[in-house]
């Protein structure tokens, strides 16, 4: 009897892009974080999102070029292993689990608080956040348990809805002429080159978190050598342009002279106030509801990514073999999904038992190391690209394999510095807590190096096959341009 595997050839470019953009939660990012970016950076804030998008597009050049040569399902850690060796790759795998789990589990706090806020705003009732978060865990488990095409369809609907309400807001503002007429002052150098731009860039980079997960779905993609790069570029381009456009239109809604004061007075209500004035109160009510569905879409996207990381690491022998089981009907990594949901429940219940705030502590404190972990993975992947391609003849061109990755590595290192330097914007915590949150990422990385050393000494067969290429099933042309399956480190 054949062992069930992931469903191959299921996802097209649009499907993968839906997963990536949904993980970023555009409506939640805009309504919840963009007002802070405007408050800190002034009317030049839209450019920060464009600059972040350009940086990640440069990163995607080398990243997607390497995706044509590395067929492992391990995504980031496989790429890093090929370029920097198995010890760094194993450490990166642990950081990936920290990053994706941190991003998802923290969002359950946002689900509870956003649902409670929506119930209060629309119906004037108070509901506790914990039952909502626990119900969300069950709902997301079911979405991940079902087939990947089911998840893609759900995310497609939810993403269209949440971006649609933002487009409706933008249309209302532009058709209404804004507060003082339509202005392009946001893009003037004098309004961009201000001290607060560094903080805006930090916010902007955080808004793209998870875009690189396109390669996680390689095994389930149709024609992955084309589908994965296309989905990556589409996701980065859409998020960068869409974020900048929406932030700019909200600035027009209040006027260049008054938007910063409006953001300072009521940052959480900035978008709701704008859509009420330019579209109607019914649209504001709908936006409240769609923020909840936006959070659910983000949770499902991250959950599916984590499941596939767990599956890959189980197949590597790093995680228990049980996590590698695939459902015979839905072809989903359902055991890895159960484990992830169980971990989420423990963390959510633990924060609730401690009397923590679902937004200020569960969301922000758990998301912060998750975000930093994923940014570190991007940096390591950018460094790995030229190290990988220097070892064999490939015909990919120096720009894609050296120049773009090196530029991306420099820019990503600067982005990590900016985020770390403004860590209080993301955690809302004291200095002591921030030190702990930032230290988690290097601590996990060092633990990964130690695990790699133990595997090499005690389980050399597991160490030797870590991030190895799957059995060749490609054309002679592909095989001729692919690097050796394993590294020697």
* 152-171 pLDDT tens trace: 788 889 989 999 999 999 99
Q: Which of 114, 123, 113 is nearest to 294 (CA)?
A: 114
Task: Return the CATH number of the domain spanning residue range 13-480.
Answer: 1.20.1740.10
Partnered with residue 221 across adjacent β-strands are: 11
SS3 221: strand
Below-70 pLDDT ranges, the chain: 1-2, 72-74, 212, 470-489
Question: pTM value?
Answer: 0.89
Q: Quick one: pLDDT at residue 488?
A: 41
Q: Which of 210, 152, 189 is nearest to 24 (CA)?
A: 210
Cα distances from 324 to residues 168, 308, 314, in angstroms, run 43, 9, 5
Q: Domain locations in the chain? A: 13-480
- What's the token pair of residue 89? 């790759």
Q: Quick one: pLDDT at residue 73?
A: 60
Cα distances from 201 to residues 45, 189, 230, 396, in angstroms, run 8, 15, 25, 31
Q: Quick one: pLDDT at residue 474?
A: 39
Partnered with residue 11 across adjacent β-strands are: 221
The C-alpha atoms of residue 436 and residue 458 are separated, in whole angstroms, by: 32
Task: Please name the residue ranges forming H helices in 255-362.
Answer: 259-265, 270-278, 281-316, 334-353
Burial pattern 399-415, b for ≥16 Cβ within 10 A else e, equals ebbbebbbbbbebbeeb
How many other CB atoms sit within 10 Å of the CB of residue 479? Answer: 10
Cα distances from 417 to residues 139, 201, 209, 376, 438, in angstroms, run 37, 11, 16, 11, 11
Q: Which of 472, 412, 467 is nearest to 80 (CA)?
A: 467
- What's the token pair of residue 310? 């767990």
């Amino acid at each position: 009897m054949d062992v069930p595997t992931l469903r191959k050839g299921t996802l097209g470019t649009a499907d993968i892009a839906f997963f990536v953009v949904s993980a970023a939660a555009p409506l939640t990012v805009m309504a919840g974080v963009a007002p802070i970016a405007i408050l800190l950076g002034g009317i030049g804030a839209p450019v920060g999102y464009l600059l972040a998008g350009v940086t990640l597009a440069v990163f995607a050049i080398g990243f997607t070029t390497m995706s044509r040569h590395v067929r492992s399902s391990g995504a980031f850690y496989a790429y890093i292993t090929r370029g920097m060796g198995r010890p760094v790759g194993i450490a990166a795998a642990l950081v990936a689990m920290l990053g994706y789990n941190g991003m998802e589990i923290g969002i359950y706090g946002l689900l509870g608080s956003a649902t409670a806020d929506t119930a209060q705003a629309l119906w004037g009732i108070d509901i506790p956040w914990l039952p909502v978060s626990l119900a969300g865990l069950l709902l997301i488990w079911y979405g991940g348990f079902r087939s990947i095409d089911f998840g893609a369809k759900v995310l497609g609907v939810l993403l269209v809805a949440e971006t649609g309400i933002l487009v409706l807001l933008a249309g209302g503002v532009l058709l209404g002429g804004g507060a003082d007429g339509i202005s392009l002052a946001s893009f003037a150098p004098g309004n961009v080159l201000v001290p607060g731009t560094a903080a805006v860039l930090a916010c902007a980079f955080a808004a793209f978190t998870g875009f690189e997960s396109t390669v996680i779905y390689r095994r389930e993609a149709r024609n992955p050598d084309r589908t994965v790069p296309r989905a990556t570029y589409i996701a980065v381009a859409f998020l960068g342009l869409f974020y900048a456009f929406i932030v700019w239109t909200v600035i027009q809604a209040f006027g260049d002279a008054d938007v910063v004061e409006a953001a300072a007075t009521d940052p959480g209500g900035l978008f709701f106030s704008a859509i009420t004035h330019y579209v109607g109160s019914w649209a504001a009510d709908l936006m409240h509801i769609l923020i909840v569905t936006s959070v659910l879409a983000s949770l499902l996207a991250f959950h599916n990514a984590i499941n596939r990381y767990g599956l890959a690491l189980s197949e590597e022998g790093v995680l228990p073999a049980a996590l590698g089981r695939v459902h015979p009907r839905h072809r989903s990594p359902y055991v890895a999904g159960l484990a992830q949901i169980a971990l989420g429940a423990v963390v959510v219940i633990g924060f609730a038992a401690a009397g923590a705030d679902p937004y200020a502590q569960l969301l922000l404190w758990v998301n912060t190391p998750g975000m930093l972990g994923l940014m570190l993975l991007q940096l390591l992947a950018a460094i790995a690209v030229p190290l990988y391609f220097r070892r064999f003849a490939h015909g990919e061109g120096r720009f894609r394999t050296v120049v773009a990755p090196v530029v991306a590595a420099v820019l990503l290192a600067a982005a990590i510095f900016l985020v770390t330097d403004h860590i209080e914007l993301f955690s809302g915590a004291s200095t002591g807590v921030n030190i702990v949150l930032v230290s988690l990422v290097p601590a996990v990385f060092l633990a990964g190096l130690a695990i790699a050393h133990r595997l090499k000494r005690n389980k050399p067969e597991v160490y030797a096959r870590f991030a190895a290429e799957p059995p060749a099933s490609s054309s002679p042309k592909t095989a001729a341009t692919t690097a050796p399956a394993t590294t020697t480190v």
